[in-house]
A and B are shown apart, each in its own frame.
Chain A
Amino acid sequence: MLGEGILKGLWETAKNFTGSYVSADRLTTVEYPEQRIAPIEATRDFPFLVFDEENRDGGDPVWEAGLRCVACQICEKECPPKCIYIERSKDKKLDYLGKAQYYPARFDIDISVCMSCQICVEVCPFDAIKMDTEFELSTTDRFGGLLLDREQLAKPNEYYHKIHPAEAAGVDAHLAEEKVKADAKAKAAAEAKLAAEAKAAADAAAKATGEGA
């Protein structure tokens, strides 16, 4: 019969229309600014720079001294749309391993160019750059307002833990492991140095007594 298929289809739409009154999970629309859906943990949009709260080098302000970035410029080179600009510092500061490292005197990301691919995060050997989840970034100034400098990019490690808990815990464990290794190495080196000094002193003493005899 002509029209049967249409009636069958209308029955489907009727079921959908009334279904949302009886079952809450059929209500798919979220009234955005008032209601928000829970963020998904893996979400990414733009990169930010992680800094550790503890003030390592006695410098001020805290975010600058705690930045994990050592200005190695790998992310700048690997960035597909080339939206990262880094200037390396002239002097060095101590990093969390107690090693003297350069730091970024300038670190700019043009987020109007950035395409959120997270290749910078993947290639960073220092876990210094991570992806943010902040998406309400509209601004009236499309040039300066979207060119973020290192102060705007710097966010504490606590913030990273808040947005990506599982990932951040993994990174912290890895960094702690590195620190333990570095400490053990430093301790071994110091002990070796002490032993060498003691040996040299003993040798010198032996020599002196030998000469005296």
Chain B
Amino acid sequence: MTDSYRVGALANDKNKLEGWNRPPVIEPDGEGELLEVAMGPHHPSTHGVFRMDIALDGERVIRLKPVFGYLHRNHEKIGEANSYLASMPYTDRLDYICSLTNNWAYALAVEKLAGQAVPERAEYLRVILGELTRVQNHASSIGFLIQEMGASGTPLMYAYREREKILDLFEAITGSRMMCNYMRFGGCRVDATPAWLDAARKVVAGLPGFVDEVDRLLSSNEILMARTQGVGILRPELAINAGVTGPMLRASGVDYDIRKVDHYSIYDRFNFRVPLGDHWDVYDRFMVRMLEMRESIKILEQALREIPGGPIMDPKAKIRGFRPKPGEAYGRIEAPKGELGFYLISDGGPNPYRYRVRPPSLINLTVLEDMALGENVADVVLIFGSVDIVLGEVDR
């Protein structure tokens, strides 16, 4: 856990806004009525269907109540009624931006449950696809965050231009751009052809240029700094107590990356570092995501260089009639949004006795009120955007 560095040393202190003071907050005088606003559920800034019941004193947020469940579709109960394999395509629909990491977490949980080994090449393919997923998720989440600040389109379209290349790679190997349904218990479904690996190398070679472009476009932008620095502060103690994970937790300065902590898959072999925030605000979350993209590109370069030949499925793996022995297992990975875990209990039957998802989006959302209290109502949209959620995963 030493392989980490502070964002401030790199960017946040360099990009300190000089000659600008935040407008003073008018303290509530206790007179007059509170204004109650329901933001959402159909609001463009809510990334889906999500409602925030906000009580305002002037512009200041006094109370914030998140209301969700509009997209509930019984994911866990369906998982208990269906066979182990049949739940795999449903996991695509949890966090529909990053279906491959969802597949991975579920496959990892089932492999733990059944004691299933995974061949070397399949692990490399999982790492490559997982890190590509992280890059495209962070790129689009930065794009959305900036869009919520009012820069309608430009940064988001730049992010989507790059995401398109990555989605084409996904389509070429898995057959689908977003609903990939790619990983299997004991390996992966289709092998990567040499042509695909070359295409992936080409895309990865272009990614640093894209991150540099976004960096030049945004990192030192005064409007972005004025809107995000010192806004939505999440204290590390609270973040740890609330179980917040992922870039949110690391932006609060806590050195916790499951790739480093849990040593799952083959992440031990790659040389990468963990960026940490030291101002705990929205700007740090933006910056941590930027730097994580750079680290992911490093992992991708290493993995694409070292990928070995060999089988992609364990010969003992079973597609049909899969019945793990009774027991329980919890598989977790560092998904782009945080710790994504699947908890499974098997009673020896063809379907799990209990199927539980630990969604990072939902748990990161629980600290929304604490971050937003006392801020202006216009900044609530921004703070909410910096959590980076997908409602498919929050509501399940």
Q: Which residues of A contact B (CB under 8 A)?
A: 2-6, 8-9, 11-13, 16, 28, 40-44, 74, 78-80, 115-119, 122-123, 131
Contact = CB atoms under 8 A, between A and B. Distances in A.
10 contacts: A2-B18, A5-B224, A6-B222, A9-B216, A9-B220, A28-B164, A40-B172, A74-B320, A78-B85, A80-B89
Contacts of B164: 28
A2 B223 CA distance: 10
* Shortest 3 CB-CB contacts between residues of A and residues of B: A117-B89, A5-B220, A80-B86
A107 B158 CA distance: 45
A148 to B, nearest CB: 20
B221 A115 contact: no
Interface in B140-177: 154, 158, 161, 164, 168, 171-176
Given A16-B158, A40-B168, A115-B179, A9 B217 contact: yes
In this complex, the member of B19, B154, B168, B189 whose beta carbon has the largest number of chain A beta carbons within 10 angstroms is B154
Contacts of B189: 122
Contacts of B319: 122-123
B90 to A, nearest CB: 7
Contacts of B15: 5
Question: Interface residues of B: mostly helix, strand, loop or mixed?
Answer: helix
Q: How large, as a class, is the contact surface on chain B?
A: 35 or more
Interface in B290-322: 319-320
Contacts, number: 82
Contact of B221 (A5, A16, A80, A122): A5
A14 to B, nearest CB: 11
Nearest to A37: B168
A119 B89 contact: yes
A74 B85 CA distance: 13
A42 B223 contact: no
Nearest to B218: A9
B13 to A, nearest CB: 15
Contacts of B158: 16
Contacts of A28: 161, 164
A5 B220 CA distance: 5
B198 interface: no
A13 B217 contact: yes
Contacts of A40: 168, 171-172
A204 B131 CA distance: 77
Interface in B197-226: 213, 216-225
Interface in B219-278: 219-225
A83 B86 CA distance: 13
Nearest to B226: A2
Contacts of A79: 86
Contacts of B92: 117
Contacts of B217: 8-9, 12-13
B181 interface: yes
